């Protein structure tokens, strides 16, 4: 009589983090969505994060005068973008945090590139609010 096969443990079935490499010749958008789905992100998170990536790319296109791939920018491009959000767009700290998390996901999970945090602080460029007494 043969021994019955033991059911596989969840840890044995789990795909290691490094196992998914998004299609390297695919478009950035396709790579991003492929990794987001693999990581089981909600559809709304995936959409919101992608929107931040698009804003990030458009910001750098305006600065450089041409499209620049995020791999070429490296994580050094994040600080000017977040500073611009705070200073020019006057977004809330929580909005900056969402943009930062989207870009962290892009660099760490999709591009598998090192992310070195810059010298930014959420809400750092916000000045004193008008109408407040001292």
Q: What local confidence, expressed as pLDDT, does residue 127 receive? A: 47
Asked whether the beta carbons of 116 and 102 are under 8 A apart, the reply is no
Burial class (CB in 10 A: 0-12, 13-18, 19+), 123: middle
Provide DSSP, 115-127: ----S--TTTT--
Domains of the chain: 25-110 (1.10.150.130)
Q: Percent of the chain at pLDDT above 90?
A: 48
Q: Is the separation of the CB atoms in 79 and 56 below 8 Å?
A: no
Question: In this model, does residue 28 exceed pLDDT 80?
Answer: yes
> What integer pLDDT is reported at residue 7 of this predicted model?
53
Residue 2 pLDDT > 50? yes
Averaged pLDDT, 63-70: 88
Q: Is 0.75 topped by the overall pTM?
A: no
What is the spatial distance between Cα 22 and Cα 34, in angstroms, rounded to a whole number? 7
């Amino acid at each position: 009589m043969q021994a019955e096969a033991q059911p596989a443990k969840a840890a044995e079935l789990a795909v290691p983090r490094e196992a998914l490499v998004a299609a390297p010749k695919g478009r950035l958008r396709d790579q991003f969505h492929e990794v987001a789905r693999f990581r089981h992100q909600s559809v709304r998170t995936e959409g919101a994060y992608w929107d931040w990536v698009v804003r990030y790319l458009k910001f750098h296109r305006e600065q450089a005068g041409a499209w620049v791939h995020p791999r070429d920018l490296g994580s050094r491009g994040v600080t000017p973008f977040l500073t611009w959000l705070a200073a020019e767009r006057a977004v809330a700290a929580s909005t900056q945090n969402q943009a930062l998390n989207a870009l962290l996901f892009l660099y760490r999970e999709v591009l598998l590139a090192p992310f070195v945090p810059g010298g930014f602080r959420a809400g750092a460029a916000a000045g004193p609010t008008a109408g407040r007494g001292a």
